[in-house]
């Protein structure tokens, strides 16, 4: 009986350890896990401001206030796009350019690097894979800021399908909803 209990305990602990390792590269910026966190959690008007709709995702767009509480040096803006099921589909973080090397190192350490352009390119781009989505970083060579976008699985394809079928045009989408991939074509990031 004792031997069976030991074996079951060992199997259970092994399963927990395996699960912990497999979720070690889940993207959960600002504590909001992509594709799982409910956006209703962002309803406090003292900490968040509804910034409109994300028609491509089917839900609200929320700007997070009081960024100092996240202890992310250089963070100047955080936007969350919610899907029709009220879960986090995209988190866009804007940083001062001075934090570029530190943020890039942290992303390299946590996620599998998929693609990077030359950092001296007119518009530099990097992409990492997360277990529950993907992470992109975009910046202009002479820009004062850079953007990191955390996409939930399937959200990026949904955005481009929406944009590609005439569902959205630049005049119909507020600036807060425009994912950073569109900003890659611009020489300078949009002003805050």
Q: Is the pTM of this model over 0.75?
A: no
Tell me, what's the pLDDT at 177? Answer: 44
Tell me, what's the pLDDT at 23? Answer: 52
Backbone angles phi, psi at 33, to 5 degrees: -70, 130
| Whole-Å CA distances, 172 to 51, 63, 169, 177, 180 | 14, 19, 5, 10, 16
Tell me, what's the pLDDT at 51? Answer: 78
Residue 160 has pLDDT above 70, yes or no: yes
| Angle 121-100-54 from CA coordinates, rounded to 5° | 85
7-39: pLDDT as tens digits: 333 333 333 333 333 357 899 999 999 999 999
Domain segments of the chain as ranges: 34-183
CATH class of 34-183: alpha beta
Tell me, what's the pLDDT at 166? Answer: 62
């Amino acid at each position: 009986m004792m031997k069976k209990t030991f074996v079951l305990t060992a199997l259970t602990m092994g399963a927990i350890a395996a699960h912990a390792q497999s979720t070690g590269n889940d993207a959960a910026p600002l504590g909001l896990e992509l594709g799982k966190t409910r956006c209703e959690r962002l309803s406090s008007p003292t900490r968040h401001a509804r910034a409109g709709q994300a028609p491509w995702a089917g839900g609200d767009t929320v700007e997070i206030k009081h960024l100092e509480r996240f202890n992310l040096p250089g963070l100047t803006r955080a936007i969350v796009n919610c899907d029709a099921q009220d879960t986090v589909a995209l988190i866009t973080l804007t940083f001062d350019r001075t934090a570029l090397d530190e943020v890039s190192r942290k992303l390299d350490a946590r996620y599998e690097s998929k693609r990077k352009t030359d950092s001296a390119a007119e518009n530099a781009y990097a992409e990492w894979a997360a277990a529950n989505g993907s992470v992109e970083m975009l910046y202009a060579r002479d820009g004062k800021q850079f953007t990191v976008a955390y996409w939930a699985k399937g959200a990026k394809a949904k955005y481009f399908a929406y944009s590609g079928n005439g569902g959205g045009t630049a005049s119909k989408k507020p600036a807060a909803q425009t994912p950073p991939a569109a900003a890659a074509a611009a020489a300078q990031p949009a002003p805050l």
